[in-house]
């Protein structure tokens, strides 16, 4: 039996595939490489000790590809990472995002149903809580108004999963709401390789450190937080990957549809992140205070008690490891996988 990992060549998917391989699971990756490099497959194989990774280059919206994949592999469960994820871009081309992220997931679920595969883990996001949820975010808070088409696409897929679980008792599904994934494999061989100019904080800090950006723009220092800059709940990508293995193991106990926050349960400000990166890297990070970024929230972090209780999962890597591993990845791979 094998686990199908869609988007398994991407940032979080590749770390999850490696974690699966390291514990001996069979894996099939489906990825159209729209935001990933084939080189990732070589790195996973190397880090996993040499065993081949089955890689299918294809799109989750391509039924023929999915049918072929399900009929030629014995798939027991699907971990579904494949999606477009750039928030700003999603506001410019929302239909592309809904087609890829929502229609793509519906096609995938239809083909799973057709093939009798009913175990499903989905990459959701803390963005589904919207702007008005009380902090820390708790899974029981109703979700209704994410601030971008990207966020809405995640919310819509959660609704699709919930409705399908009502209709099909065999369907067991978990949506994992990630907080802010950062970090890289400890070896420095695998990490986040954003295409073009990054938007997220840590890739931007790292680009300043390697001299590709002259300074970091800090978006706003007048928020009601410890130092006026926004606070986020950062989670090491390897802890996040391990959360998927725990969720997969828990699926057999799930009746229908469940949701879990995967976060560290505490938050750091932008200035605290800069300081921590400077300590880890020994590099000075110049920054300039800029106006607030549209759509940013002052502060949020995860209530992680449900994942701790049900999944027996908690983070074991802190800000020191997040910064050390990010810096190691950028030092060894200043051009990413290229
Ligand atoms: P990523 O872009 O690195 O990985 C996504 C992968 O999916 C890429 O390899 C891409 O080539 C592939 N893909 C996209 N559309 C596809 C399609 N139609 N068919 C086949 N493959 C396709 O992103 P990531 O950071 O690893 O994120 C993984 C998942 O987690 C996404 O669903 C994302 O929305 C979600 N998520 C990410 C974050 C984050 O900050 N990175 C936060 C919350 C949720
Ligand atoms: C962003 C997305 C969110 C997505 C998440 C993870 C927006 C509004 N939100 O969240 O939907 O789930 O990424 O992919 O885009 N910052 C700077 N300077 C920079 C970059 C960031 O000051 O150059 C600040 C931001 O203002 C924010 C914090 O750093 O306060 C974290 O930013 P980022 O990494 O983009 O994550 P989120 O804003 O939480």
What pLDDT is stored for residue 194 in this prediction?
Answer: 78
Ligand 1 atom closest to Cα of residue 31: 21
4 sits in which H/E element: strand 2-6
Digitized pLDDT (tens) for each residue of the chain, 338 residues in all: 999 999 999 999 999 999 999 999 999 999 999 999 999 999 999 999 978 899 999 999 999 999 999 999 999 999 999 999 999 999 999 999 999 999 999 999 999 999 999 999 999 999 999 999 999 999 999 998 788 999 999 999 999 999 999 999 999 999 999 999 999 999 999 999 977 778 899 999 999 999 999 999 999 999 999 999 999 999 999 999 999 999 999 999 999 999 999 999 999 999 999 999 999 999 999 999 999 999 899 999 999 999 999 999 999 999 999 999 999 999 999 899 98
Do you know the residue count of the chain? 338
What pLDDT is stored for residue 36 in this prediction?
Answer: 95
For 52, the token pair is 């081949």
Smallest CA separation from ligand 1 atom 29, residue = 81
Span from the CA of 214 to the centroid of ligand 1 (angstroms): 28
Pairing state of beta strands 2-6 and 26-31? parallel
Summary count for the chain: helices (H), strands (E): 12, 13
Helices within the chain (DSSP H only): 11-22, 39-47, 63-72, 87-92, 94-97, 104-115, 149-167, 201-209, 237-250, 270-281, 305-306, 319-332
Is residue 141 within 6 Å of ligand 2 at its C-beta? no
Ligand 2 atom closest to Cα of residue 229: 30
What pLDDT is stored for residue 50 in this prediction?
Answer: 79
Q: Of 84, 81, 79, 90, which is closest to residue 4 (Cα–Cα)?
A: 79
Smallest CA separation from ligand 2 atom 11, residue = 127
Q: How far apart are CA 80 and CA 222, in angstroms?
A: 38
Q: Order the strands of the 172-178 sheet from edge to edge.
A: 54-57, 26-31, 2-6, 75-80, 119-125, 172-178, 257-262
How far CA 170 is from CA of 113, 252, 254, in Å, comes to 10, 11, 10
Q: Is the pTM of this model over 0.95?
A: yes
Contact 53, 29 (CB under 8 A): yes
Active site residues: 150
Is residue 336 within 6 Å of ligand 2 at its C-beta? no
Is residue 201 within 6 Å of ligand 2 at its C-beta? yes
What pLDDT is stored for residue 172 in this prediction?
Answer: 98
Is residue 17 within 6 Å of ligand 1 at its C-beta? no
Is residue 9 within 6 Å of ligand 1 at its C-beta? yes
Ligand 1 atom closest to Cα of residue 122: 32
Q: How far apart are CA 169 and CA 251, in angstroms?
A: 13
What pLDDT is stored for residue 303 in this prediction?
Answer: 98
Residue 292 has phi, psi (to 5 degrees) of -55, 145
Smallest CA separation from ligand 2 atom 19, residue = 201
Ligand nearest to the CA of 146: 2
Domains by residue range for the chain, with CATH: 2-182+235-263+303-315 (3.40.50.720)
Ligand 1 atom closest to Cα of residue 34: 11
Smallest CA separation from ligand 2 atom 6, residue = 180
DSSP string covering 195-230, please? Answer: SSS--SHHHHHHHHHTTSSSSEEEE-S-SSSSSSS-
Smallest CA separation from ligand 1 atom 28, residue = 81
Is residue 337 within 6 Å of ligand 2 at its C-beta? no
3-state helix, strand, coil in the chain (%, to 5): 40, 20, 40
Contact 59, 36 (CB under 8 A): no
């Amino acid at each position: 039996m094998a686990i199908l990992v869609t988007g398994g060549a991407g940032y979080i998917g590749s770390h999850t595939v490696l974690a699966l391989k390291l514990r001996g699971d069979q894996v099939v990756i489906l990825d159209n490489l729209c935001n990933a490099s084939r080189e990732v497959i070589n790195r996973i194989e190397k880090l996993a000790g040499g065993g081949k990774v089955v890689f299918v280059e294809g799109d989750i919206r391509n039924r023929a590809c999915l049918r072929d994949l399900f009929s030629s592999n014995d798939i027991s469960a699907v971990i579904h990472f494949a999606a477009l994820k750039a928030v700003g871009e999603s506001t410019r081309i929302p239909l592309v995002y809904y087609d890829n992220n929502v229609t793509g997931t519906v096609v995938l679920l239809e083909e799973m149903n057709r093939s009798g595969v009913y175990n499903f883990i989905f990459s959701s996001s803390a963005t589904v809580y919207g702007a008005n949820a009380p902090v820390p975010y708790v899974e029981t808070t109703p979700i209704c108004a994410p601030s971008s088409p990207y966020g809405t696409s995640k919310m819509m897929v959660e609704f699709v999963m919930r409705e399908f679980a009502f209709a099909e008792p065999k369907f067991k599904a978990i949506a994992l709401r990630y907080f802010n994934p950062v970090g890289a494999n400890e070896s420095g061989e695998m990490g986040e390789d954003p295409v073009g100019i990054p938007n997220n904080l840590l890739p931007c800090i790292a680009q300043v450190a390697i001299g590709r950006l002259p300074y970091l723009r800090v978006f706003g220092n007048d928020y009601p937080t410890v130092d006026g800059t926004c606070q986020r709940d950062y989670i090491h990508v390897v802890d996040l990957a391990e959360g998927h293995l725990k969720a997969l193991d828990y699926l057999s106990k799930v009746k229908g549809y469940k949701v879990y926050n995967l976060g560290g349960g505490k938050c750091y400000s932008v200035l605290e992140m800069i300081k921590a990166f400077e300590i880890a890297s020994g590099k000075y990070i110049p920054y300039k205070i800029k106006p607030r970024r549209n759509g940013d929230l002052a502060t949020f972090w995860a209530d992680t008690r449900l994942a701790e209780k049900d999944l027996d999962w908690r983070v074991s890597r802190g800000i020191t490891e997040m910064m050390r591993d990010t810096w190691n990845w950028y030092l060894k791979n200043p051009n990413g996988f290229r």
